């Protein structure tokens, strides 16, 4: 469900920015047939209201030597608030961990991990991830191919 605070112009601006954040206000205003000032003000407001959290460049992971991607499911030995918080505080320090989600179901967390190769993953696993306290088990799955990788939400 789309947030009702967003009008059609806001949605169109967000769609364009999700595809290319480097679009200028002038380019967006031309595409949407609105004034540059209107577009500028809308984008400023969308940032202030938190709809736009940050602007980033999406890199080709293979060109920067991060071709191995693993999804690791982590089960902790208890669900005390301090145990969960400690795990989250520690795991986000690892540059190999690209995403960390607390989950429902059999495992407590799922991590997206990017390394250069299997040897680098093995080093990460043994010397970083597996050393964290209160872990009962870790189950990892390795990406063979990537069919879809989208960062844009439908609006």
Residue 60 CA: distances (Å) to CA of 86, 114, 138: 32, 12, 27
Question: Which residues of the chain fall below pLDDT 70?
Answer: 1-4
The model's pLDDT over 12-40, given as tens digits with 9 standing for 90+, comes to 999 999 999 999 999 999 999 999 999 99
Query: What integer pLDDT is reported at residue 4 of this predicted model?
Result: 65
Structure tokens at 29: 């205003």
Domains of the chain: 8-48 (1.10.10.10), 68-142 (3.30.70.920)
For the whole model, what pTM was predicted?
A: 0.87
Tell me which H or E stretch contains 93: none
Query: What integer pLDDT is reported at residue 5 of this predicted model?
Result: 84
Give the CA count within 13 Å in the CB-facing half-sphere of 39.
Answer: 19
DSSP characters for 96-136?
A: TEEEEEE-SSS-SEEEEEEESSHHHHHHHHHHTGGGSTTEE
DSSP state of 12: H
Calpha distance 88→102 (Å, rounded): 9
């Amino acid at each position: 469900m789309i947030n009702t605070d967003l009008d059609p112009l806001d949605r169109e601006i967000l769609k364009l920015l999700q595809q290319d954040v480097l679009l200028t206000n002038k380019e967006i205003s031309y595409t949407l047939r609105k004034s540059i000032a209107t577009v500028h003000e809308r984008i400023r407001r969308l940032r202030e209201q938190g709809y736009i959290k940050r602007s980033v460049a999406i890199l080709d992971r293979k060109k920067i030597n991060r071709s191995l991607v693993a999804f690791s499911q982590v089960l902790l030995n208890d669900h005390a608030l301090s145990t969960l918080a400690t795990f989250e505080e520690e795991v986000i320090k690892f540059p190999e961990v690209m995403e960390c989600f607390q989950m429902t179901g059999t495992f407590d967390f799922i991590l997206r991990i990017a390394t250069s190769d299997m040897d680098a993953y093995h080093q990460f696993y043994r010397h970083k991830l597996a050393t964290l306290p209160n872990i009962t088990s870790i189950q990892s799955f390795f990406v063979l191919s990537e069919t879809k990788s989208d960062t844009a939400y439908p609006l």
